[in-house]
Structure 1
Amino acid sequence: MRDQPASHRKSGFRLPVLEWVRDYRTSWIKPDIVAGVTAAAVVLPKAMAYASVAGLPVETGLYTAFVPMGIYALFGTSRPLSVSTSATLAILSAAALGQVAPDGNTAQLVIATATLTLLVGLFLVLAALLRLGFVANFISEPVLTGFKAGIAIVIVLDQLPKLIGIHVVKGSFFHNVYALAAGLPHASMSTVAMGALTIAVLVALEHWYPKSPAPLIAVALGIACVAFAGVQRYGVEIVGEIPTGLPSFVMPDLSLIDALWPAAVGIALMSFTETIASGRAFALSGEPVPLPNRELLATGLGNALGALFGSMPAGGGTTQTAVNRLAGAHSQLAELATAAVTLGTMVLLAPVIGLMPHATLAAVVIVYSNGLLNPEDFRAILAIRRTEFVWAVVALVGVVLLGTLQGILIAIVVSLVALAHQVSDPPVYVLRRKRGTNVFRPVSDEHPDDEDFPGLLLLRPEGRIFFLNASNIVHKIMPLLAQTRPRVMALDMRAVFDVEYTALKMLTEAEKKCRESGIEVWVVGLNPDVFAVLEKAPLGSVLGHERMFLNLEQALAAWWEAQHAIARDGVSSASRHPGQRTP
């Protein structure tokens, strides 16, 4: 597909399907169809497995891989993105549905799921209309790492009973661990064997044949064990009857909105976060980057319409998108091919899928959920930033101990607190000059020979100065003044892109205290916006143009001129030696 000029893409709303169909190349047809069919081999088993994670009939996974996938192909902006459900969305949905359908009644669950998915879709569409695509950036990468790791632990603990053939009453994390341990003596050896066989097949294929449709092969093997070896006679439970044909229309229950909307907001956020992350990760060089607000609309419409046909909350998936792209997908036609395979499965293969062992599904979920828990990610964070490692661990513990819905709130709160902490405590560097150059750099043990200038304190604050951090900047500067007792303090402001009103008042008061103590304040390197603000404020009048400089070289030249004047006639007033006004 030929890339369009940015001005053309931004001029009004254009239905994405019209764009990629118009520019479609006939040479893409075969690789797109092959990629879509290959991706279906991964999507369908995992979608059914994740439906079971949510406590829903496995056919719900098929419906989710059909309707939202097709809708996204029409409205989405990512070429390779494959849309169905995910481990994260499944476990979040399970927590939400458990609140309104605790007895697990299938009919009640289906209606509750339709209501939840419709709310997720409506929230995503509303966010698109309000242009809230930037919200996905509110969850930092370390916190998202911890959140996903916590989700992996919760999912594995949830699936282990199915893997060993026992039934436990779900509760808190520690309750579930105790119930699992207490049930181990009652495990079904035949079920354990089936689960172990599935895991062995998945791991072996991923290791030696990574391009093979491992989930499809594992599921086919499990079904074959039931169909030809009759393993259900030895206590291996199977999925059971699955309705054949197209999904039926489901009417959401509006009376459940009050109970489900908070969970729907969290699920919508995670759906969008996973969708945009997957879309960006697999965009090739030269391809348009997925547009966040268009992605909100596409996934929102997919969820809203899918809800009416029995699907669960959906979003883009990393693994299936990777398979789709690596198999040769060039456009959204690949997603339509995946949806077509799903349709054929619903119409023709539903009776065969009903023979699938629960242990096989549990094994698929466990193997692929482990990808969410990567110790190497934690080690990488710890190697760079210990503080953000703590945030990742807090998110993980929050999900595991407090639950997934509370965990996502913790993840958001931790991200916002982390952001507030970073902007509330900006650095203030003491500068020295590299000898023989005009390079000014922060004081460092690595550069002990850098020049300082007794009587002149050079400081460089960084970032936006506003009400949240102005007092911290002042508190960092005051000990430096007390320690060095300079005659002039020059603030290099080139790394400050904005100064807010409250901060200006604090800086004005700090300048007055400095002046009363015999310390002059100079400002250096103001950008035009900051200069315009400062000029209107009382601080600008106090400083005057003679204490504003374009750069540190000019400030230092004015300082030396003042020193020469002092040496010549003993007049100790640096202000009589003007600098240059900032433009």
Structure 2
Amino acid sequence: MEEKHEDIFVDYEQVSYKQETELFFRNLPRYTQEYVVGLLPIATWIGRYNLTWLVRDLIAGITVGIVVVPQSMAYAKIAMLPPQYGLYTAFVGLCVYCLFATSKDISIGPTAVMSLLVGQTITRVTSESATITATEIAVTFSLLTGAIAMFIGLVRLGILVDFIPACSIAGFMTGSAITITIGQWPKLFGIKGINTQDSTYLIFGNFFKYLPNTKLDVAFGLTGLFFLYGIRYGCQFLSKRYPKYSTHLFFFGIMRNGILIIFATLISFLINIGKSSSPISILKDIPAGFQAMSVPRIDAEAISAVAPSLPSGIIILILEHCAIAKSFGRINNYAINPDQEIIAIGFTNIWASFFGAYPSTGSFSRSAIKARSGVKTPIAGIFSACVVVLALYALTPAFYYIPDATLSAVVIHAVADLVSGPSYIKRLASVSLWELFVFVVTVVVTFFTTVEYGIYASVALSIVILLFRIARPRFWALGRVPLAPAYNDDSNKSHQRYLYVPDSHPSLGKLVEPLPSGVLMCRIDESFTYPNSGYISDRIIAYCKDHTRRGGSVLKKGDRAWNDDANPVTEAAREQLPLLHALILDVASVNRLDSSGLQAVVDASAALNRFAGHHVELHFVNIVHPAIRRALIVAGFGTQPVPGGEGQEILPVVPVSKDGPQIQKQQEQKQQQQQQRIDNDEDLEVGTDDEKHDLGDDFKSASTATLSNPIPIPKDVYPFFHWSADDAVNAAVRSLALRPSA
């Protein structure tokens, strides 16, 4: 014999603001402790550090250090700074990050995109003012971006990063990589007289204009590029062919930058023997040690000089770092804390400004090398920093003869990986044409202006599209498809189940049948808030008017409202349509309902009541959040008709006049009574005439039910809220049978 289950009725306990406040202050000490401990994640794992981790970190750190030295000097040239400033920047980022890191793979230091922005900022400021130097601009920029990032992380505003989509990040990374690559062509060929801080299209045109002025540097530049790509693809090919040597080939391939610099410097030294001037462009003197350590210059002139570039600097600083950290976290199966990562780069850049460094953030290429090298903890950065210190104090004399063309080859080879290729564009076009549009606009704007304007364009366009999607959500008119087989309940009554899908569904649309006469259903695929409340309300009203006829007595022409455009011809053509009895709203995708949205539902209900000539039931299916349910109850949708009559204002924007109509006061009194009844749960009974349950008994039976067995679909204590679309339709059909005109 089958077990008979008792119906389960669902309600939510109302939690007062007083209770929430008391709970917050009761947990405040624990929250504070967790917050403080979270600021230094190293304290949670340093006690487990062991010799195995040390060996792996040492290998990874030295490997990254070999890469970071030539890259840092090359990136400093992009930033319009002497090469040693790239080493200063790399040292501080590698040392400090381990204290705050939640990612083991990230390598902080100079990056191509940030270096490009710093270089454009220095060019702009120095052309406008002769009293502030390039190094002062870079240091001030580092301090201010670090302070702002630190503040954002401390107050946990890292959520702002989520408002910028991946296509925007890919767009300005691709645009910046193209800009940097073309900007390095003149140095690669030894061509003088081209301003590499111009817009990219100008550099591109001038390069071919002055191409006949190519110097001996081109031999170092093109040979270097051929060597770098040859080693990379050669090692990849040999690794597949000889898997047992894959580790050796990997580390050999990683050292290709250092090997190239060593051989290029040696050849450069040999061709300069006995010459008073070099036939190629070389780095020349690089001072040993940390020569730029000082307190950063902070005054009104320096701040105003870099202020226009601060928004784009913050965006690059945070986005580039968090995007890389999340990427490696997904690949290596660990979670990162975006707010803590923002604190890490904020503190790093504040501290770096005292060493004369410019802004730094996470590097994709070096992080990938670090991950592939088997890094275990963020402490690997300290070993990379030791390599940088060694270069600063012991190798600066050897840096004298490094060819500029070779450094340009290193830069081009590094930034080429940042370009999103055809496969990415094809997949993006398949997913979203809007996102492809954002990507293309970002790349084009960056190419024809600067990386700063490219960032602003991508962010602004992404936000506009986001707001448009919120303001104009998808609205679906739903029909139903019968499901087979039907099932029997405990009373041996046959019940047909249905699948509710849009009428225009590409696969199931031809199988959709209409709902019972006088019953309509629609779905809203967005939160119901102030940007879209009017639009959704209009769509609901228009949908209902298109599928039902006007009810009540036919008004004469002189009695119609000024905005009523109906006429006898159109009304006669619609006589075969049913009267609207009930509208079912599927709100499963509605995660928030604010006061404007609630008022729009009330207005739509009033408009439909006037159109139908009687009260139109509004049923709600799949209310996912208690706050939405509570808001609907406040407006009276739990026990319809709505208290207070049609057209009431839930939260009036303009206070009601004290000398206004008496009906408004009656509405307020009824609404207060309804709210009091909700708060106190006074003898609320639900169900049909045949079956009513006291709320206390329902909860008692629900609490004693054995939920390990299958249960019937729960019922809400309010008869117009449902957990199943079938239940909502059946409730509407039952009430339709009770209408006098049915």
Provide TM-score, normalisation by structure 1: 0.90
**Greater shift in the superposed pair: 153-162 or 546-555:** 546-555
- Checking the alignment, whether the CA contact within 8 Å between 2:168 and 2:458 is kept in structure 1 is yes
Counterpart AA for 1:429? W
| Alignment-derived partner of residue 305 in structure 2 | 259
- Checking the alignment, whether the CA contact within 8 Å between 1:460 and 1:491 is kept in structure 2 is yes
1:147 aligns with 2:172: yes
Instruction: Give the CA deviation at 1:555.
Output: 1.3
1:172 counterpart (199, 205, 209): 199
- Say if 1:191 and 1:439 are closer, same or farther in 2 by CA, change over 3 A: same
Instruction: Give the CA deviation at 1:284.
Output: 6.7
1:440 counterpart (487, 500, 516): 500
Q: 1:275-323 CA deviation, whole Å, 9 max, x = no partner?
A: 2222222237886522222212221111111111121110111111111
Residues of 2 paired with 1:406 and 1:22: CA distance? 46
**Greater shift in the superposed pair: 520-529 or 334-343:** 520-529
| Alignment-derived partner of residue 578 in structure 1 | none
| Alignment-derived partner of residue 158 in structure 2 | 133
- Say if 1:501 and 1:172 are closer, same or farther in 2 by CA, change over 3 A: same
| Alignment-derived partner of residue 526 in structure 1 | 623
Residues of 2 paired with 1:270 and 1:9: CA distance? 31
Residues of 2 paired with 1:104 and 1:367: CA distance? 35
| Alignment-derived partner of residue 469 in structure 1 | 532
Q: 1:357-391 CA deviation, whole Å, 9 max, x = no partner?
A: 11111111112212222232222211111111111
Gaps of 5+ in 2: 1-29, 237-249, 484-496, 549-577, 643-717
| Alignment-derived partner of residue 237 in structure 1 | 281
Instruction: Give the CA deviation at 1:224.
Output: 2.2
| Alignment-derived partner of residue 300 in structure 1 | 346
Question: How much is the aligned-residue C-alpha RMSD, in angstroms?
Answer: 2.5
Residues of 2 paired with 1:326 and 1:106: CA distance? 46
- Checking the alignment, whether the CA contact within 8 Å between 2:126 and 2:132 is kept in structure 1 is no
| Alignment-derived partner of residue 516 in structure 1 | 610
| Alignment-derived partner of residue 456 in structure 2 | 409
Residues of 1 paired with 2:502 and 2:462: CA distance? 29
Residues of 2 paired with 1:402 and 1:18: CA distance? 45
Residues of 2 paired with 1:244 and 1:107: CA distance? 24
- Say if 1:323 and 1:533 are closer, same or farther in 2 by CA, change over 3 A: same
| Alignment-derived partner of residue 576 in structure 1 | none
Residues of 1 paired with 2:738 and 2:155: CA distance? 61
Identity %: 24
- Say if 1:367 and 1:313 are closer, same or farther in 2 by CA, change over 3 A: same
Q: 1:212-233 CA deviation, whole Å, 9 max, x = no partner?
A: 1222222223212212344997
Q: 3-state DSSP class of the match of 1:429?
A: strand
Residues of 1 paired with 2:357 and 2:727: CA distance? 67
- Say if 1:450 and 1:549 are closer, same or farther in 2 by CA, change over 3 A: same
| Alignment-derived partner of residue 556 in structure 2 | none
| Alignment-derived partner of residue 75 in structure 1 | 100
Q: 1:18-61 CA deviation, whole Å, 9 max, x = no partner?
A: 33321212211111100101111222221111111111111111
| Alignment-derived partner of residue 215 in structure 1 | 257
Counterpart AA for 1:20? W
Residues of 1 paired with 2:219 and 2:338: CA distance? 45
- Say if 1:508 and 1:104 are closer, same or farther in 2 by CA, change over 3 A: closer
2:601 counterpart (499, 503, 507): 507
Counterpart AA for 1:248? A
Instruction: Give the CA deviation at 1:547.
Output: 3.7
Instruction: Give the CA deviation at 1:124.
Output: 1.4
Give the length in aligned residue pairs.
563
Residues of 2 paired with 1:87 and 1:418: CA distance? 29
Provide TM-score, normalisation by structure 2: 0.72
1:191 aligns with 2:217: yes
| Alignment-derived partner of residue 346 in structure 1 | 392
**Greater shift in the superposed pair: 478-487 or 51-60:** 478-487
Instruction: Give the CA deviation at 1:500.
Output: 0.9
**Greater shift in the superposed pair: 355-364 or 471-480:** 471-480
**Greater shift in the superposed pair: 321-330 or 389-398:** 389-398
Q: 3-state DSSP class of the match of 2:395?
A: helix
- Say if 1:106 and 1:209 are closer, same or farther in 2 by CA, change over 3 A: farther
- Say if 1:339 and 1:86 are closer, same or farther in 2 by CA, change over 3 A: same
- Checking the alignment, whether the CA contact within 8 Å between 2:86 and 2:357 is kept in structure 1 is yes
Counterpart AA for 2:258? L
| Alignment-derived partner of residue 36 in structure 2 | 12
- Say if 1:105 and 1:227 are closer, same or farther in 2 by CA, change over 3 A: farther
Residues of 2 paired with 1:75 and 1:57: CA distance? 29
Counterpart AA for 2:204? V
Instruction: Give the CA deviation at 1:266.
Output: 2.1
1:572 aligns with 2:741: yes
| Alignment-derived partner of residue 459 in structure 1 | 522
- Checking the alignment, whether the CA contact within 8 Å between 1:381 and 1:388 is kept in structure 2 is yes
Instruction: Give the CA deviation at 1:438.
Output: 3.5
Residues of 2 paired with 1:371 and 1:530: CA distance? 47
Residues of 2 paired with 1:19 and 1:482: CA distance? 63
Counterpart AA for 1:175? L
Residues of 1 paired with 2:406 and 2:172: CA distance? 26
Instruction: Give the CA deviation at 1:540.
Output: 5.5
| Alignment-derived partner of residue 202 in structure 1 | 228
Instruction: Give the CA deviation at 1:415.
Output: 2.1
- Say if 1:248 and 1:20 are closer, same or farther in 2 by CA, change over 3 A: farther
Residues of 2 paired with 1:175 and 1:215: CA distance? 30
Instruction: Give the CA deviation at 1:474.
Output: 2.4
- Say if 1:373 and 1:285 are closer, same or farther in 2 by CA, change over 3 A: closer
Instruction: Give the CA deviation at 1:90.
Output: 0.6
Q: 3-state DSSP class of the match of 1:49?
A: helix
| Alignment-derived partner of residue 497 in structure 1 | 591
| Alignment-derived partner of residue 94 in structure 1 | 119
- Checking the alignment, whether the CA contact within 8 Å between 2:90 and 2:388 is kept in structure 1 is yes
- Checking the alignment, whether the CA contact within 8 Å between 2:66 and 2:387 is kept in structure 1 is no
Q: 1:105-144 CA deviation, whole Å, 9 max, x = no partner?
A: 9992122211111111111112122222122222111111
Residues of 1 paired with 2:60 and 2:72: CA distance? 18
Residues of 1 paired with 2:533 and 2:589: CA distance? 15
Counterpart AA for 2:593? V
Residues of 2 paired with 1:25 and 1:442: CA distance? 59
Counterpart AA for 1:182? K
Counterpart AA for 2:502? P
- Checking the alignment, whether the CA contact within 8 Å between 2:201 and 2:447 is kept in structure 1 is no
Residues of 2 paired with 1:38 and 1:199: CA distance? 21
Residues of 2 paired with 1:24 and 1:285: CA distance? 23
1:311 counterpart (333, 350, 357): 357
- Checking the alignment, whether the CA contact within 8 Å between 1:112 and 1:252 is kept in structure 2 is no
Instruction: Give the CA deviation at 1:418.
Output: 2.1
- Checking the alignment, whether the CA contact within 8 Å between 2:639 and 2:719 is kept in structure 1 is no
